[in-house]
Amino acid sequence: MNEFKIYEATNAPADSREDLEKIRSQQGHLHNIYAIMAGSPALLKGHAALKELFEKATLSKEERRVVLLTASRENRSAYSVALQSDVAEKQDIRPEVIEAIRSSKPLKDRKLEALRSFTAKVVNSRGQLAEQDIKAFLDAGYSHANILEIVLAVGMVTLTNYTSLIAKIPLDKQLESKMWKIAG
């Protein structure tokens, strides 16, 4: 069995230790996803850099959470859906928004639904969107810059999605209440 090591800052590769400590101090604990990503300092640093950049995007906090949770759901990463659900809840994203995305149901807010739907299309089409998809997104009140920010987010969250899927990461105790299973 290919078991991936879950590192601590004390036994991780030297180039991952500072990043793990930074994550622990920001979050109060270290999620298994980062503890496994530490096995590749380049992956951990790359993810951290993209995450920091995405948090500066022009999309609102709620919109950023919608993008990340939607991309994780569309990539079918149960671990990442649980993690993104937890982060969204801690950032006071409305529970009905979180649950609708987890269930792949349309959001009541039309603009947020345009964002959720567009993000799902980006992930599922691997970026090969029809012109009408782009037009509909822009007509919903978003910009070309927002499209590019979604590309950044999808790239960033795909790192955690694929890591969790490949490594079969065990769900952290703190995330058990957010467990997600693929319907159907």
Question: Are 49 and 23 contacting, i.e. CB atoms less than 8 angstroms apart?
Answer: no
Reading the block at residue 170, the tokens are 């065990």
pLDDT on residue 183: 65
Q: Which pLDDT belongs to residue 176?
A: 80
pLDDT one-digit tens code per residue, 169-179: 888 888 888 88
Instruction: Please identify which residue in the block is written with the tokens 């603009």.
Output: 111
- Token reading at 173: 């105790």
Question: Please, which residues have CB within 8 angstroms of residue 118's CB and are 6 or more apart in sequence?
Answer: 133, 136, 137, 142, 147, 150
The predicted structure's pLDDT at residue 2: 63
What are the tens digits of pLDDT across the range 159-171?
Answer: 999 999 999 988 8
CATH superfamily to which 59-178 belongs = AhpD-like (1.20.1290.10)
Helix (H, G, I), strand (E, B) or coil at 140: coil
Contact 48, 38 (CB under 8 A): no
Looking at residue 29, what is its pLDDT? 85
Taking the C-alpha atoms of residue 49 and residue 128, their distance in angstroms, rounded to an integer, is: 26
Task: Return the closest-CA partner of residue 68 out of 126, 181, 149.
Answer: 149
Span 117-171, pLDDT tens digits: 999 999 999 999 999 999 999 999 999 999 999 999 999 999 999 999 999 988 8
Q: Check: CATH 1.20.120 for 7-56? A: no
Domain boundaries, the chain: 7-56, 59-178
